[in-house]
Structure 1
């Protein structure tokens, strides 16, 4: 018997979780290991306990909640994250976590015991906003980053990840790799426009684009804005903007890479009447081809050398990298079968956003399920998915995980 989830309870919990970290202006921000994230983690652990799960935290701060199975096979796992970007939407990450908890609670209430244990994982620091790199909890689990390196990561304001784990009570004594998944299915909102534009209900995600993130610093010469002729300036701001524009135009014209984004930019000294002597910005390259991603990195270095030829000093620092991945054909087929059984319209697709699933795919069969995002909007307060789509996506997750566990 396939368990039928309680959609109303799922929606109510999504709404309740969205209040944690929301300020008086209505902005939702739960950066990793902040006080807001700590309160949300506590709430999620309470819901896992209500669902009858055995709950523990590992040494990188990932939360685990597992049902018991009849055999000793590695668990069929699902989950996502609950940390957010700044001024976020309510669904990114949280939807996949709460849908997994809803499945566990449904099994608990109906007295259903799977052959293989089912586990929900809440990964720490997925977004990488406060602590870089992103996907930190899953990176440590698959040993892409060592535990000691991760614990030593510092935020922009100097807080250490390990210290913040202890301060917030978010650390445990279990190694992240001690109980690895046997398989993993992540449910997520699409965060893009394709499902809505093609009038499809379920995205069957066959892989995830890789990304390459860079911190760029351009050093010029600060000087008086009124007395320094244009031809005698070494304006770091202008140089940085020229470099950024060249990268964007290359992505637009040559698709190398598929997308390139400058998401942050700061000028020093940052005064209206001073020629900037220093500029710092970030670059986010993404592509489904590892080779194209490397070509984009090479292009960045070539552009930097051109600025150095013009008299600037340019420092490049890689701050995060994830190779493109392609998911398990068997789990992709299981998602397709579950959606077809409920006569849903589906679209096979590649995710443009990064997810913990791309890390977990290194150690076990993995795939993802998407539901439509209204207007394709995410990482924004307007992020939304219709209630019926949220419920149906969670039901498909339940169908697939239950099938894999049995």
Structure 2
């Protein structure tokens, strides 16, 4: 069905219209989950879907499902989507591209008068980013049974506001039951890394996702006056934490290829310029496509932190906050993506996702595949995030083919 193609211009126009909501000075977006701006983005998506003839439902964690009926509506839907929430200094494409590429598939099917055997659905998952509320990928996690609904509804932001209350406030705490059968799930996304651009490949056939381990580390020393306290007797929690952070970086470098190790969040107490820090809290993010290597990295982190704490007279607690193993995607879904790239003549390559996506949780409950397209400089989670309209169109066409193949088969 190569003669059927999405409208790249219409997809781009939709992306740019959505980007006006929560636009930032540097050309990015800020639409935090369950905020007023998130509501505006959701409202626009719902309006567009209803104009395209879709029936819209919302479940109890705020996930939005826009359904285009099929010939046999008793069949589970072929689903696609992503998220509309962003980082505080996020870009115009992370997440939203997958949502609006799905909408463009629906519009294209309408234009061509194609009736699929199974229904087609476009989904917006709640709080994929995990920025305002942690952990990440809450909506898909609840849908897939990874997180209990009530536990996630009770999660609080930095101001003590609960996610469930905020969804209710903006009108997106729905009544649809949690979870349902899904025939296949596809997610189109910018790569968020530099590989496709460097290889000059417009399409990435995602075979799976890296495993991830997130940790919370608390280092306790002793607060003391910065002037009278001799250096030799100090129990400086920040100095100890800094050594541990260096070890995180070393562990990442020592487990190449593929390993990533990051400390991106740090809190120092009492955070006063003339007081020796008595307590430090920091987060660690480990990633690798091989679970055995992730386990090795876990062991190295715990041993390094314990050794440094003992040498400096500190106390340390390392607790694993979040974990999911490496996730291979469904062979038939991956094949459908590969066939789509071949059909349209797009140069492509196989790739493993270095980031977490809703597709990772969906792979627990449905056959799943992903499509990557390049992003400029591999930059994401940044206001300057950018993508070529032609690459976005290519990913949309591959998505169209993959969904048609699964919805008709």
Query: For residue 291 of structure 2, what is the aligned residue in structure 1?
Result: 290
Report 1:252-271 matches (<5 A).
Answer: 252-255=253-256, 258-271=259-272
2: distance between equivalents of 1:44 and 1:320? Answer: 31
Given that residues 27 and 384 in structure 2 are in contact (C-alpha distance below 8 angstroms), is that contact kept between their aligned partners in structure 1? Answer: no
User: What residue is the counterpart of 1:88 in the other structure?
Assistant: 90
Q: Tell me, in whole angstroms, the C-alpha distance in 2 between the residues paired with 1:27 and 1:343.
A: 32
- Match among 361, 383, 386 for residue 384 of structure 1: 386
Say if 2:136 is the partner of 1:134. Answer: yes
Aligned to 2:338: 336
Looking at structure 2, the residues matched to 298 and 174 of structure 1 have their Cα atoms a distance apart, in angstroms, of: 42
Give the conservation status (yes or no) of the 8 Å contact 1:257–1:293: no
Give the whole-Å Cα distance in 2 for the aligned partners of 1:200 and 1:27: 25
Alpha-carbon distance, 1:24 to partner: 5.1
Q: Distance in 1 between matches of 2:96 and 2:28?
A: 16
Shift of 1:11: 0.4
Distance 1:199 1:256 in 2: 21
Change (3 A) 1:196 1:347: same
Paired position in structure 2 for 1:322: 324
Cα gap change, 1:24/1:258 in structure 2, threshold over 3 Å: closer, same or farther?
Answer: closer
SS at 2:200 equivalent: coil
Equivalent position of 1:67 in the other structure: 68
Moved more, 308-317 or 393-402: 308-317
Describe the superposition over 1:328-373 as per-residue Cα deviations: whole angstroms up to 9, x where unpaired: 1111111111111111111101000100001101111111000111
Aligned partner of residue 80 in structure 2, secondary structure: strand
1:271 positional shift: 2.0
1:148-297 correspondence runs (5 A)? 148-177=150-179, 179-255=180-256, 258-297=259-298
Match for residue 41 of structure 1?
A: 42
Change (3 A) 1:286 1:64: same
CA contact (8 A) 1:132 1:320 kept: no
Distance in 1 (CA, whole Å) between partners of 2:304 and 2:164 is: 37
CA distance in 2 between partners of 1:341 and 1:53 (Å): 28
TM-score, scaled to structure 1: 0.96
Matches of 2:17 and 2:337 in 1, distance apart?
29
Partner of 1:59, secondary structure, is coil
What does residue 368 of structure 2 align with? 366
SS at match of 1:226: coil
Asked if the contact 2:28/2:385 (under 8 Å) is kept, the reply is: no
Instruction: Tell me if structure 1 keeps the 8 A contact 2:28–2:384.
Output: no
- Mapped partners of 2:116, 2:382: distance in 1: 38
How far has the Cα of 1:75 moved from its partner?
Answer: 0.5
**1:149 CA displacement:** 1.4
- Does the aligned pair in 1 maintain the 2:71–2:119 contact within 8 Å? yes
Summarize the alignment of residues 109-128 of structure 1 with structure 2, pairs less than 5 Å apart.
109-128=111-130
Q: Give the length in aligned residue pairs.
A: 405
**Unaligned stretches of 5+ in structure 2?**
none
Question: In 1, distance between residues paired with 2:106 and 2:255?
Answer: 47
- C-alpha RMSD of matched pairs (Å): 1.6
Structure 2 CA distance for aligned equivalents of residues 87 and 228 of structure 1: 41
Q: Classify 1:67/1:331 alpha carbon distance in 2 versus 1 (closer, same or farther; 3 Å).
A: same
Identify if the C-alpha distance between structure 1 residues 5 and 149 changes in structure 2 by more than 3 Å, giving closer, same or farther.
Answer: same
Could you tell me which runs of 5 or more consecutive residues in structure 1 were left unpaired when the two chains were aligned. none
SS at match of 1:316: strand
Change (3 A) 1:268 1:52: same
Would you identify which runs of 4 or more consecutive aligned residues in structure 1 move more than 6 Å? none
- Give TM-score scaled by structure 2 length: 0.95
Structure 1 residues 91-125: Cα deviation after superposition (integer angstroms, max 9, x where no partner): 00000100101111222233321011111111001
Contact between 2:29 and 2:91, CA under 8 Å: does it hold in 1? yes
Counterpart of 2:353? 351
Give the 3 Å change call, closer, same or farther, for CA 306–257 of structure 1 in structure 2.
farther
CA distance in 2, matches of 1:104, 1:146: 32
Distance of 1:257 and 1:370 partners within structure 2: 18
Would the aligned equivalents of 1:52 and 1:104 in 2 still touch at CA under 8 Å?
no
* CA shift for structure 1 position 321: 1.8
Deviation of 1:21 (Å): 1.1
How far the C-alpha of 1:266 sits from its partner, in A, is: 2.0
Q: Deviations over 1:34-66 (max 9, x none)?
A: 111111111111111111111010011100001
Take 2:198 and 2:286, find their aligned partners in 1: how far apart are those partners? 25
Work out the CA distance in 2 between the residues paired with 1:369 and 1:31: 25
